[in-house]
Structure 1
Amino acid sequence: MSRWSLYTWKRDGRSLRRALPTLTVLAALLTTSAGVAAGAAGAVERDVLGSGGLTQIELSSFEGDASVRPLTTSALRDAEGVPGVRQVVADYSSVLYAEEEGTFDLTSHTLTPGDDLPVTEGEIPAELGRDEVVLPATAQGTDFTPLLGRSVAFGYTKATGASSGTTAVIKLRIAALYDPSWQVDGPGVAYLSEETAALLAAARAGQEPETFRKKEGAQSAIVVVGHQKQVAAATKALQDDGFSASPVSDRVRNLPGLFGAADLAMRVGVLIMALVAIGLGVVRAADSTRARIGQFAVLRILGSGRPELRRILLGEALLTGGVAGVVGTVAGTGVSLALAGPLSDMLGLPITRADALPGPGWAAAALLLPAAGLAAGTLFGSREVLRRDPYLTARAHS
């Protein structure tokens, strides 16, 4: 890099500095894509796969669809008999509402192995007891924090006829509270043991729990197998047996297209940035050299050889690419961090700002590729013009 490069880069509007805006935008886009993809991948790994998602299969029940096997007691028993299956937990949905304190009306679900709640207070036991419940820290204007660890009376509906019912009361101890922004099953959900969830769902239908589970069945269920390699075979066996079954890990591939698009964009972005940087180097170097050919001819006559002039251009290229890489990487990282919240809402997974930071490899690519590509292009773009005879050139421009 020549000592004149900084001077010509700053002072001469015809220098390679003109390539700065385009390269900055490309570096910013690459960094943003890398940050978005890293955030989505980190959230998936932590909240879907890290919670055992790789060994889980989800069963679904569709009301009115005779082609899908309902998740009744006998059906779930058959699912438990599939080779490799270690556990089957059924999800029953109902409603818990305030009986003594507050004005809340909470949807209830079974706490399944697929639920990795972000606990803020208390601790979820390895197996939730029949008289325990896990609630959001706040819901519908009610703060449950003061009630943590206490047994609270909850109301639930007990049907007495086709269109009539009465209120029944159940006492449950609040074992833990979770972050209310976690809304995989919707806002303000109370999580119960399988037995208690089935009790409430059966009461709402006006049936005894065993009868309800035998005839109506669960809304969905999570099947846990012993090892990841058994998931495919167990899924196929369940599907062949009439169940609607899909591996929980499929959520990674079936997330909104933003995750896949961002991952593809950052890989394609590296190639595009390299090609554009080289192309800009070729074009801008040729244009810049032609525009300043009179100046370069004088320098040649005064004793500067082609290598020195080439070093001036390479210095301008490295300065331009370096500034573009730094500014673009900083701007792209800022955009990626700003998108962490909206992306979290879109994917339904908690993504922290730390998750949204681009990986060191992608950040290095955004920093270095603009300078490297522009410098490579400059070597080709300036070659023809610098070969011209300086005396003829100076005479033509005098």
Structure 2
Amino acid sequence: MNPFAMAAANVHSMWRRFIGLTVLLAVAAAVCVTALGISDRADSAARDRVQEGTANRSVTVDRLMERTDSKPLSTETVRTLSGMPNVTSVEPRAQVSFGYKDQQVPGVLLYATTPRPSLLPPLLKTVRTQLFPLHPGEIVLPKRAQGSDLTPLLGHSITVTTTRSTSAGQGTGVPVSVRVVGLFDPAWQLDGPDAAYADEATVVRWAAAKAGVTESEFTTSVGYDRITVLARTAHDVPGLLSDIQSAGYAATSLQQEMSALPGVLSLIHTAGQVLLVVLGLVALVGALVVTGALSRQRAREIGILKALGFGNRAVLTMFVAETGIIGATGAALGALLGLAGAAAAAAGLRGSSELAPYLPDGIPLPDPGVLAGILLLTLAVTVIGAWVPARRAAQLSPSDAIKEW
């Protein structure tokens, strides 16, 4: 009889004997699939959202007001920075103060700011779905500012007061009509406290009037307050930072303050790989122990097979094939249990606002290659674990096998 056919028949008839090994393999594979599914998706999301996110790819160029030798951040600067290698976008920022008060709002002082496309404020309410880029004369206010609720202003045209320079150190208030088209979370203060967002042309016009220059003079001589330069990848940031500083500009990067981040992300990835190795060793030891016990229990069967003319190779093939069938079954069950575990774990973790952004909407599966590797490794360690006891059993002579029984 064919050893493979006998192996399949043995597994079918003696399935109760193989339950322990099957369960061990299934649990090991399931835990591995679940853990790697979550960690792999979290690792990928962390790299996309953090390491390759806007903050970690950005270089900030500041205008040093207290230094007379500092270069103005002019439109020429924007062109220069845009032409540097590995730059994907250049986002100039200008700010200028304005005031508003009415019967409900006793008075607030806000700062009109040019929005950065790469880092827009978190909107709470808007007059239209696609708010940015803003149209001329539109403004986005914080929901609350300096103790005043600005929610009633949404959708209305209001008159704010800007400043126009009249002489050195002197200015006069100028009423300007703007339309409030959105409200954002006031906790968002990455552009400074009490920031409001208006289109660039409006902000430059107000800033030029306050400085007592024309809009053209403002963008060429006074310049923007800050420029954010986005690199193509996080890896390009150090070189880009060096190029900008070499050109004579004061530049810093958030990546310098987060130097430990790549190591932390690598640690997460390594932890997943270590888990895979540990579970592989568990499956290997389990296969050795369980297969060795089964071989000893079946000594009489081995003796009968050897007496009927089955050679060492045929007996060895049969035992290894049996274990291979069990390994494949355990791996398949483990994959199914792992998918269910990953879905359940992801559903539970999505309840945390801190963890939810790092999990996909569906089941967080490992990459197809990783999943296939887990299943093949489960099968491989099972067969390898069975090889030594199966080889020892196959080498028994018929008389020794029957004696052991």
Say if 1:225 and 1:374 are closer, same or farther in 2 by CA, change over 3 A.
Answer: closer
- 2:368 counterpart residue number: 361
Residue in structure 2 matched with residue 392 of structure 1 by the alignment? 400
Provide the rounded CA distance (Å) in 2 between the counterparts of 1:337 and 1:4.
41
Q: Distance in 2 between matches of 1:339 and 1:354?
A: 12
CA distance in 1, matches of 2:387, 2:278: 14
Please say if residues 137 and 180 of structure 1, whose CA atoms lie closer than 8 Å, have aligned partners that are also in contact.
yes
Do the aligned partners of residues 136 and 198 (structure 1) sit closer, same or farther apart at CA in structure 2, a change above 3 Å counting?
same
Report deviation, 1:133. Answer: 1.3
Q: Which position in structure 2 is the counterpart of 1:162? A: none
Structure 1 residues 223, 314: closer, same or farther in 2, change over 3 A?
closer
TM-score by length of 1: 0.65
Amino acid at match of 2:226: S
Q: Distance in 2 between matches of 1:366 and 1:107?
A: 56
Say whether the 8 Å CA contact 1:82–1:234 is kept in structure 2.
no
* 2-structure distance, mates of 1:218, 1:247: 18
Distance 1:251 1:175, change over 3 A: farther
Q: Which amino acid aligns with 1:297?
A: A
Residues 314 and 336 of structure 1, relative CA distance in 2, 3 Å threshold: same
Mapped contact 1:48–1:249 kept (Cα < 8 A): no
Matched residue SS, 1:242: coil
1:351, distance to aligned residue in structure 2 (A): 5.3
How high is the TM-score relative to the length of structure 2?
Answer: 0.64
TM superposition shift of 1:236: 3.9
The aligned amino acid for 1:318 is A
User: Which residue in 2 is equivalent to 1:312?
Assistant: 322
Partner in structure 2 of residue 327 of structure 1: 337
Distance 1:44 1:225, change over 3 A: closer
Q: For the residues of structure 2 that align with 1:225 and 1:279, how far apart are their CA atoms?
A: 43
Deviations 1:179-203 (A, max 9, x none): 8898765898632234655788899
Q: Secondary structure at the match of 1:112?
A: coil
The separation in 1 between residues aligned to 2:345 and 2:111, in whole angstroms, is 36
The 3 A distance-change label for structure 1 pair 11 and 379 is closer
The whole-number CA distance in structure 2 between the counterparts of 1:61 and 1:7 is 81
2:93 to 87, 90, 95: 90
Aligned partner of residue 2 in structure 1, secondary structure = helix
Q: Structure 1 CA distance, aligned partners of 2:318 and 2:341?
A: 34
Describe the shift of the 1:95–1:33 C-alpha distance in structure 2 as closer, same or farther (beyond 3 A): farther
Which residue of 378, 381, 395 corresponds with 2:385?
378
Q: Identity of counterpart residues, as a percentage?
A: 18
Q: Which residue of 2 aligns with 1:111?
A: 115
Listed as ranges, the gaps of 5+ residues in structure 1 are 159-165
For 2:366 and 2:62, how far apart are their aligned partners in 1?
A: 37
Cα distance, 1:32 vs. partner? 1.4
Q: 1:360 to 1:14 in 2, by over 3 A?
A: closer
Could you tell me which residue of structure 2 aligns to residue 31 of structure 1?
Answer: 37
Amino acid of the structure 1 residue aligned with 2:60? E
User: Are residues 1:284 and 2:290 paired?
Assistant: no
Q: How does 1:55-66 map to 2 (within 5 A)?
A: 57-60=59-62
From the superposition, tell whether residues 77 and 215 of structure 1 become closer, same or farther in structure 2 (CA, over 3 Å). Answer: closer
Over residues 23-64 of structure 1, what are the superposed CA-to-partner deviations in whole Å (9 max), with x where a residue is unaligned? Answer: 433332211111102333454699749xxx98x753245788
Alpha-carbon distance, 1:111 to partner: 0.6
Q: Which has the larger radius of gyration?
A: 2
* Counterpart residue identity of residue 404, structure 2: A
Residues 11/261 of structure 1: CA separation in 2 closer, same or farther (3 Å cut): same
Does residue 40 (structure 1) correspond to residue 46 (structure 2)? The answer is: yes
SS at match of 1:323: helix
Q: Is 1:175 aligned to 2:181, yes or no?
A: yes
Question: CA, structure 1 residues 124+76, in 2 after alignment: closer, same or farther (shift >3 Å)?
Answer: same
**C-alpha distance in 2 between matches for 1:374 and 1:124:** 57
Question: How big is each residue's C-alpha offset from its partner over 1:1-35, in whole Å with a ceiling of 9 and x where there is no partner?
Answer: 62443675655675353355444333322111111
Aligned counterpart, 2:227 = 221
Change in CA separation of 1:316 and 1:238 when aligned onto 2, cut-off 3 Å: same
1:199-348 matched pairs, under 5 angstroms: 208=211, 220-223=226-229, 235-245=241-251, 259-266=265-272, 268=273, 273=276, 275-276=277-278, 279-303=281-305, 305-336=315-346, 338-339=348-349, 345=354
